């Protein structure tokens, strides 16, 4: 019984880590699509944290804007919210508002 519980907990942790990786990949690709530095936005959201190895890995997995699918702003904000990354969502929202106020944005939300 205890062994089964341990295996179940391990599967849950693995699933969460996989999903977290996907969330970070969505964030990294959104940044590429909008000409933003994912590391800089992350540092603004979490200034006390050191470099994030998973973020670096996901930035490396992102593709050039020309090869990427569009990621709607509201999709990224929803994914960040789902994982409780409210500070990062706030920084992303600031960037969306900057883009909107510059007049070069297309409404995505």
**φ, ψ (nearest 5 deg) of residue 10:** -65, -40
The mean per-residue pLDDT over the stretch 5-24 comes to 84
Give me the pLDDT at residue 1, please.
59
CA terminus-to-terminus distance, the chain? 48
Measuring CA to CA, how many Å separate 52 from each of 10, 66, 69, 102? 22, 26, 25, 30
Give me the pLDDT at residue 6, please.
86
The mean per-residue pLDDT over the stretch 81-95 comes to 95
pLDDT band at 46 (very low <50, low <70, confident <90, very high): very high
**Residue written as tokens 């599967």?**
11
pLDDT band at 42 (very low <50, low <70, confident <90, very high): very high
**Residue written as tokens 């919210």?**
81
* Domain residue ranges of the chain, discontinuous segments joined by +: 14-101
């Amino acid at each position: 019984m205890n062994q089964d519980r341990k295996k179940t907990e391990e599967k849950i942790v693995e699933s969460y880590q996989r999903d977290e990786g996907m969330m970070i990949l969505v964030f990294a690709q959104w940044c590429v699509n909008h000409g933003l530095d994912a590391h800089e936005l992350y540092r603004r959201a979490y200034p006390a944290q050191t470099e994030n190895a998973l973020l670096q890995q996901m930035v490396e997995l992102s593709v050039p804007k020309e090869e990427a699918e569009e990621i709607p702003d509201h999709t990224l904000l929803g994914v960040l919210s789902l994982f409780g990354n409210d500070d990062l969502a706030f920084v992303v929202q600031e960037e969306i508002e900057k883009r909107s106020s510059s007049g070069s944005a297309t409404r995505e939300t």
